[in-house]
Structure formats: C-alpha cells, structure tokens
C-alpha cells in the first residue's frame, strides 16, 4: 500500500521550495550583471583633480565673455555661440552626458556655419536630464549647463558665472 518516496507529493514539494530560490537567484544575478549602473567612478581621485581644471576653463570662458544657447529638435541640436572676445568661431567639442545612462552619452566635434551656428545630428531625440558641456577644440575654455529635454526654451550655457 505504501508508495515509494518519489511518487509522493510532499518530498517533491519540499525539494521545489529551495530549488525555486536557486532559480530565482540565478535569474537575478544574470539580470543585474547585464544591466550594470555606472554611478560610481572607478578613479574618483583623478576625477576630483579634474574638477579644478574644469573650473579654470570655466573662468577662462568668463574672461573671454563667452556664452551659448542650445536648442533641440527631434533630430538636430543647434548651438548658437556668443563668441565674446574670440576673433572667429572656433571648432568646438559638444558633450551630452546623461545622469545615469553612460551608454547614451554623446561627444562630437563640430564646426560652425557662416552664421556661427553649430549643428549636430542626433540619432534619437534626447529625453530626461542631461549635463551639456561645450569645450574649445584645444581645451582652453569651457561652457556648461544642465537641462531637461524635451524643452521648448533654449538652454543657456555659461562659464563659472551663471547669469
């Protein structure tokens, strides 16, 4: 009358409980290993030292009376540079850094057209919070600002003194 153990319900039920925990933990591990968040810097000391260089470049932009406005459409970003005391419109490096998604960051070198406008072609529209930085091609000055996109108003970019 007695069934062997492998034909009864309770042994399989007791084996299934820890088995489901093992399967769930393996799933969680693979999920988190594929979707890592890069909020913590690998070498925070070097980045801290780099902040001082950024401040000197922002001060240089203030000394040259530089500022810029950034407007976005779905597939274009247009930077209008007020060149201040510069003799001509330089080649600039435009950087868009997303707050949490490092793989969405954009960095491009751009030349101006005849009207002093810099146009960047975007692969996809920018959504959410972004840090925007404009650097001279030689790294002598920088402008920056923060923005939430989409935005109907132009984003103003300044050196160290925010107006």
Read off the DSSP letter of residue 8. S
- Does 32 score more than 70 pLDDT? yes
For domain 60-157, give its CATH number from 3.20.20.70, 2.60.40.10, 2.60.40.420, 3.40.50.300.
Answer: 2.60.40.10
Q: For residue range 57-107, what is the model confidence (pLDDT) as tens digits?
A: 888 888 888 888 988 887 888 898 888 888 888 899 999 888 777 788 889
Say which DSSP state 6 is in: G
Cis peptide bond N-terminal to 150, omega within 30: yes
Q: Where are the alpha helices (DSSP H) in the chain?
A: 9-34, 44-63
pTM for this model (two decimals): 0.67
Q: What would the pLDDT profile of 144-155 be if each residue is shown by its tens digit?
A: 888 888 888 888
Predicted confidence at residue 54, as pLDDT, reads 66
User: CA-CA distance, 139 to 75, in Å (whole number)?
Assistant: 27
The residues with which 67 forms a beta bridge, in sequence order, are 82
Strand partners, 106: 96
How confident is the model over 100-130, as pLDDT tens digits? Answer: 777 888 899 999 888 788 999 888 888 888 8
User: In angstroms, rounded to a whole number, what is the distance separating the alpha carbons of residues 18 and 1?
Assistant: 30
Structural domain boundaries in the chain = 60-157
- Number of neighbours of residue 77 by Cβ within 10 angstroms: 23
């Amino acid at each position: 009358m007695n069934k062997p153990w492998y034909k009864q319900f309770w042994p399989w039920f007791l084996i299934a409980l820890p088995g489901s925990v093992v399967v769930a933990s393996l799933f969680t591990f693979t999920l988190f290993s594929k979707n890592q968040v890069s909020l913590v810097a690998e070498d925070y000391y070097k980045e801290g030292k780099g902040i001082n260089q950024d401040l000197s470049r922002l001060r240089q932009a203030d000394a040259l009376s530089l500022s810029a406005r950034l407007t976005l459409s779905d597939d274009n970003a247009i930077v209008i540079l007020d060149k201040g005391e510069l003799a001509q419109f330089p080649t600039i490096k435009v950087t868009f850094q997303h707050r949490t998604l490092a793989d969405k960051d954009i960095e491009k070198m751009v030349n101006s057209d005849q009207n002093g406008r810099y146009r960047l072609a975007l692969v996809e529209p920018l959504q959410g919070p972004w840090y925007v930085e404009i650097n001279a091609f030689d790294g002598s000055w920088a402008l920056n600002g923060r923005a939430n996109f989409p935005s109907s108003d132009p984003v103003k970019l300044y050196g160290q003194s925010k107006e």
